Amino acid sequence: MNISEYFLYCLAVVVMIATPGPVMLLVASAGLKGGYAAALRTIFGTNFASLVLIALSVLSLKGLLVINAQWLDAIKLLGCLYIGYLGWQIFREVIFKQQEQAQENLVPVHGGFRQGFLVGISSPRDIIFFASFFPQFIGITPDLDLSLIILTLSWILLDFLTLSVVYLGFNHLSHSRLYPHLLALCGMILLMIAGYGIYQILISKCTAYLDCSCLA
């Protein structure tokens, strides 16, 4: 097995998961609301979404599946809208409630398996990762199937461990006065991620349209 390439893959996975994004922020928000049990259910949902995306990537690598670019853009757009909705839910609760009531009445996203799955399956960053970056590491062993098994199991383990560490970090802050501000920040970042994702989709569409116009 190519150890150096495998190490780079593991490092890339940890960095991508730990970097603020919709999945990480959803897990943190769910954990702040419902404790580790809620965070764990959300992590299971995001993990299952990752397995679905990995399966699609594997089918594509084996030539059994061709994904239409327009369908992919539509999934990305729906994902951005859903992520923006979750961000607004979190942010709205902080804005419209008194700070004295925040610890008792604040209702960040509850998380859970369903929401974890929906955010994970529609996250533009995860879609791009599994569609383009993930296949670059299938050469860690001479056997394609063995490489895919190793990469998949490593992803599941690293995803679970990294998101659990993220939850524990946020949990320490939940007992301080920074709690409502932390949730507001999560909501704002989710809104920014959704906005940036929509912007990127529109830019790519406009560029493709202009290229077609020039060729015509």
* Counts of helices then strands in the chain (DSSP H, E): 8, 0
Whether residue 155 has pLDDT greater than 80:
yes
90-94, 134-138, 196-200: range with highest mean pLDDT: 196-200
Residue with the larger pLDDT of the pair 198 and 189: 198
List the structure tokens of 77: 């757009």
Interior CA angle at 43 toward 39 and 49, to 5°?
150
pLDDT of residue 68: 66
Residue with the larger pLDDT of the pair 44 and 79: 44
pLDDT band at 72 (very low <50, low <70, confident <90, very high): low
Whether residue 7 has pLDDT greater than 60:
yes
Q: How far apart are CA 205 and CA 63, in angstroms?
A: 26
pLDDT of residue 99: 46
Whether residue 137 has pLDDT greater than 70:
yes
Domain boundaries in the chain?
Answer: 3-215
